[in-house]
Amino acid sequence: MTAIRSMFWRRPLAAIAVALTVASCGMLPGTGEPPQVFVLTAKSTFAPDLPRVDWQLTIDLPTAEAGLNSARIALQRSRVTLEYYAHANWVDTAPAMVQKLLVESFENTGRIVSVGRQSVALRSDFSLLIDLREFQAEYLDGGTPKAHVRMNAKLVKMPQRTIVATFTAEHFEAASSGDLPSVVLAFDEALGKVMRRIVEWTFRAATNTARS
């Protein structure tokens, strides 16, 4: 069975208090078991009727609640707790990883002049604000876990910094089994479906705004 570290986390009170249970191990530095590091992939297939555009886009670093703003791989076994797989991490914090994969996904369309992270000195016509609201494996109904990914996107027209459209994409993907590699593959599938919806929505919303 995969070892799990627990974090009791009530979502309505997440900004007020987060109680973290940590087992003390007494190991000397560098002698503990190194974590497995997992990566997810960018989306590369999109609707064939995506418009080719001449506007430029930047993507802000996504926001996330404290429990998800981490490189640890989160899971839920009840609706009021958040836990983590032991000895397993994402390659970066979840928000930074999602930002990178969104940039790559937009690039993979081959239909946009320029897209980059907000930290890059890039003049943009639009900015995409992402709120990462769900990014955990859920064990809520028995059986194998489901990867749950939900993101809210806000399209901001620059330089006015006016929100012109909003969109929420969500997907649950059941893992083929309960082992961690299978759970990570379910995360990859769920995130890919959510990113595809956000990319395609952004193209259409920004194009409609640019024409108006």
Tokens of 125: 């016509």
What are the tens digits of pLDDT across the range 21-68?
A: 333 333 344 556 788 999 999 999 999 999 999 999 999 999 999 999
120 falls in which pLDDT band (50, 70, 90)?
Answer: low
For residue 34, what pLDDT is reported? 83
Which domains are assigned to the chain? 51-73+87-211 (3.40.50.10610)
> What number of residues does the chain have?
212
For residue 60, what are the CA distances in angstroms to 33, 124, 188?
A: 34, 12, 21
Tokens of 153: 């996107």
* Rg for the chain, CA atoms, rounded: 19
C-beta atoms surrounding 154 within 10 Å: 15
4 falls in which pLDDT band (50, 70, 90)?
Answer: low
C-beta atoms surrounding 58 within 10 Å: 22
pLDDT above 60 for 13? no
More confident position, 208 or 3? 208
Identity of residue 201: W
pLDDT above 90 for 201? yes
Measured distance CA(81)–CA(100) in Å, rounded: 28
Share of the chain above pLDDT 90, in %: 77
10 falls in which pLDDT band (50, 70, 90)?
Answer: very low
154 falls in which pLDDT band (50, 70, 90)?
Answer: very high
118 falls in which pLDDT band (50, 70, 90)?
Answer: confident
What are the tens digits of pLDDT across the range 177-197?
A: 999 999 999 999 999 999 999
Give the chain as a DSSP string.
---EEEEE--GGGTTT--EE------PPTT-SPPPEEE---------TTPPP---EEEEPPPEE-TTTSSSEEEEESSTTEEEEEEEEEESS-HHHHHHHHHHHHHHHHS--SEEEETTS----SEEEEEEEEEEEEE-SSSSS-EEEEEEEEEEEETTTTEEEEEEEEEEEEE-SSSSHHHHHHHHHHHHHHHHHHHHHHHHHHHHHHHH-
Q: Which of 107-121, 154-168, 192-206 shows the lowest mean pLDDT across its residues?
A: 107-121
Measured distance CA(23)–CA(140) in Å, rounded: 25
Measured distance CA(126)–CA(64) in Å, rounded: 21
For residue 119, what pLDDT is reported? 67
For residue 158, what pLDDT is reported? 94
